[in-house]
Amino acid sequence: MKRSNKKNGSATIIRNSSIFLIILLAVVARLIPHPPNFAPIAGLALFSGSHFKKKTALLIPLAAMFVSDLFLGLHLVIPFVYLSFILTTFIGSKLKSLKFSNLLLASLGSSVLFFLITNFGVWLMFSMYPKTLEGLVQCYTMAVPFFRNTLLGDLFYTFSFFYGYQYLSNFLLKKLAKLS
């Protein structure tokens, strides 16, 4: 019985360590130079939504955003950005299976959601576009070149987080089994 508890405790430590490393990676990835909109937070939000209970799942991507935003600066569109990641975390929580196709669809859907919400925020909060339907369409049109990097970044980080976590957990469990 004790051996089983020891294994469960070790698995929990490995799981928590893996999660901490993934969050740290997300913060660092936002802080180092990268192409515009090629960022890890949507992938992290999908991952957290699928692996954690509601409050923890929401806290992880928002904490990574907040910590990195302290270094990068704050702006008027932040509530829209954070809202998009809250909704992305919700999408992650609805993933029934972590098959490639499900992750692909969730990542693409999250990218579209981010594009629509944050660019609506840009249109609403700044004066660079008229507050008309034409102004909103212009705002979305001007944002299209950035959408490519959003898609690529979200896909890259979604698969990196999900499969990286799986690989790291399996690797550490094998190492731990050899030590036991």
Confidence label for 16 from pLDDT (cuts 50, 70 and 90): confident
Report yes or no on 10 lying in a domain: no
pLDDT at 7 over 70: no
* The predicted structure's pLDDT at residue 1: 33
What is the length of the chain? 180
pLDDT in tens, 92-151: 999 989 999 999 999 999 999 999 999 999 999 999 999 999 999 999 999 999 999 999
Report yes or no on 175 lying in a domain: no
Report yes or no on 62 lying in a domain: yes
Least confident of 22-36, 107-121, 164-178: 164-178
Report yes or no on 154 lying in a domain: yes
Report yes or no on 174 lying in a domain: no
* The predicted structure's pLDDT at residue 85: 98
Structure tokens at 60: 């992880």
Rg of the chain (C-alpha set): 18
Report yes or no on 2 lying in a domain: no
The boundaries of the domain holding residue 146 are: 33-158
More confident residue, 176 or 138: 138
Q: How far apart are CA 10 and CA 33, in angstroms?
A: 36
Least confident of 32-41, 102-111, 159-168: 159-168
Q: Find where tokens 């990268």 sit.
A: 34
Q: Find where tokens 């569109």 sit.
A: 77
The dihedrals phi and psi of 7, each to the nearest 5 degrees, come to -65, -45
**Number of structural domains in the chain:** 1
* Helices marked H in 32-132: 41-51, 54-72, 78-93, 100-125
Report yes or no on 110 lying in a domain: yes
Report yes or no on 94 lying in a domain: yes
